[in-house]
Structure 1
Amino acid sequence: MYLPQHFAVTDPAVLFDLMQRFSFATLVSVHEGRPFATQIPFTVYPERNLLASHMARANPQWTSFDQNQEVLVIFQGDHSYISPTWYAKHPSVPTWNYMTVHAYGKVQIVEEPEAVKALLHDLVVSYEQQWKMEELPQDYLHGMIKGIVAFQIEITRLFGKFKLSQNRSRADQERVIAALEQSPHPGDRAVARQMKKRLEQV
């Protein structure tokens, strides 16, 4: 990804935090010579530098997984339109502020039934407060598992890009924050919070 230095984020803790908060991500690989993408939820294991997920067995993407192919997982955080009318200096043009993490790695398909159940359990407990996978009838659960392919991705490269108006003056950044804070859209206000947090650290 195009990554100007002033937008780069290298702190693994910050990157893994975004990955865990926005864990419904896009897996990109090469299948039959062409880019292929699937949107799926991931379980993020920062302490193991690992991602895990699964996809429908009917999805052909997994048939091209091998240990020699590097895949890309794109985690997209909050983002917002930035109007040039919010700047003090003119002329200016519109832009977009956003936060994203690109994780590259090697895929390993998980086939052992108990290991697959463990990965599914971790994914479920990440989101579910009441429903328990273990309460399903075993024959039903076994049938569902037969319809998916589980896999892990060992992260080999990790890049973060937080484009938060760092290339503008502090006055412009403060004006953008003020405008975004008034937005009815939660994503806009989330970007404002991230911009304010960054300014406090400068």
Structure 2
Amino acid sequence: MFIHPWDAGLDEAEWQSWIAEGHDFGILSVNGPPGRPPVAVPTHFTGGDGHLLIHLARPNPAWTAIEQDPNVTFTVFGDYAFVPGPWRAQPGTPPTDGVPTSYYTAVQFTCLAHIVDEPEAKAALLRRQLAHFQPDGDHAPVAVDRPPYGRMLPGIRGLRLDVTDVRAKFKYDDHKPVEHRTAVAEHLTARAQGLDPSAAREQRRRLGRIGPWKP
């Protein structure tokens, strides 16, 4: 993931707060076997203590790839929006001369993968995930000797991803003048399609922290 200086995360707390706001779905990317393409798996995850936790169905082709090479990446993205060219035209130039772009936030984790196959360890992993996704506890106990989870555990494998590096990108034209960024945020708010409102919030938040860009 290429990151311009003005797109970089301002500190670790910035990307950590963004993840904690409910961005808990991403893409696991694994090197494929020789001569085969990489394996990419969309999945929910939970995190903490320097690692990410996921689980996948046992037939998933990612397992063979991970067994051959446990070095993986996990990418989370959101708050994205297409910004049309006229919104980015330089002052005094025709709107059609503006060049469009994409706004988005992306956090990419480089990880070393560890497969979790022992039944009780898998049950513990699921309990961690359910505590995050169903904090009200409105589910049956996750135990190796009780239905429904006990009989389903053989059909999945767990994965602990030990995080070795994190790269965060907040692409919201932060190198542009304050007036430009303010105007684009207003356009996004007015258009209000898809993730436009959250992209505008991120742009305004970054503007409040950065102000005029200083290399």
* Structure 1 residue 38: Cα displacement: 0.5
Range 111-120 or range 63-72, more displaced = 63-72
**Contact persistence 2:76–2:107 (CA under 8 A):** yes
**Contact persistence 2:7–2:169 (CA under 8 A):** yes
Tell me how far apart the structure 1 counterparts of residues 68 and 53 of structure 2 sit (CA, whole Å): 15
Name the structure where strand makes up a greater proportion of residues. Answer: 1
Query: Are the structure 2 counterparts of residues 17 and 62 from structure 1 closer, same or farther at C-alpha, using a change threshold of 3 Å?
Result: farther
1:1-202 aligned within 5 A: 1-9=1-9, 11-20=11-20, 21-33=22-34, 34-45=37-48, 48-66=49-67, 69-87=70-88, 89=90, 90=93, 91-128=97-134, 129=136, 131-134=138-141, 138-185=146-193, 187-202=195-210
1:47-102 superposed Cα distances (whole Å, 9 cap, x missing partner):
x1110001000102112324963101010121001122224623321111000011
Range 176-185 or range 132-141, more displaced = 132-141
Tell me how far apart the structure 2 counterparts of residues 98 and 92 of structure 1 sit (CA, whole Å): 19
Tell me how far apart the structure 1 counterparts of residues 88 and 66 of structure 2 sit (CA, whole Å): 47
**Contact persistence 2:131–2:137 (CA under 8 A):** no
1:108-156 superposed Cα distances (whole Å, 9 cap, x missing partner):
1112322211211121222223522317881431221110010100100
Query: Are the structure 2 counterparts of residues 28 and 10 from structure 1 closer, same or farther at C-alpha, using a change threshold of 3 Å?
Result: farther
Tell me how far apart the structure 1 counterparts of residues 192 and 54 of structure 2 sit (CA, whole Å): 33
**Contact persistence 1:15–1:160 (CA under 8 A):** yes
Tell me how far apart the structure 1 counterparts of residues 30 and 142 of structure 2 sit (CA, whole Å): 35
Question: Which runs of no fewer than 5 residues in structure 1 stay unpaired?
Answer: none
Question: Which runs of no fewer than 5 residues in structure 2 stay unpaired?
Answer: 211-215
**Contact persistence 2:51–2:160 (CA under 8 A):** yes
Query: Percent identity at matched positions?
Result: 26
SS at match of 1:73: strand
**Contact persistence 1:41–1:53 (CA under 8 A):** yes
Tell me how far apart the structure 2 counterparts of residues 18 and 180 of structure 1 sit (CA, whole Å): 20
- The AA in structure 2 aligned to 1:41 is H
Tell me how far apart the structure 1 counterparts of residues 13 and 157 of structure 2 sit (CA, whole Å): 29
SS at match of 1:133: coil
**Contact persistence 1:7–1:163 (CA under 8 A):** yes
Tell me how far apart the structure 1 counterparts of residues 45 and 17 of structure 2 sit (CA, whole Å): 13
Aligned pairs, number: 200
- The AA in structure 2 aligned to 1:101 is V
- The AA in structure 1 aligned to 2:165 is R
**Contact persistence 2:70–2:114 (CA under 8 A):** no
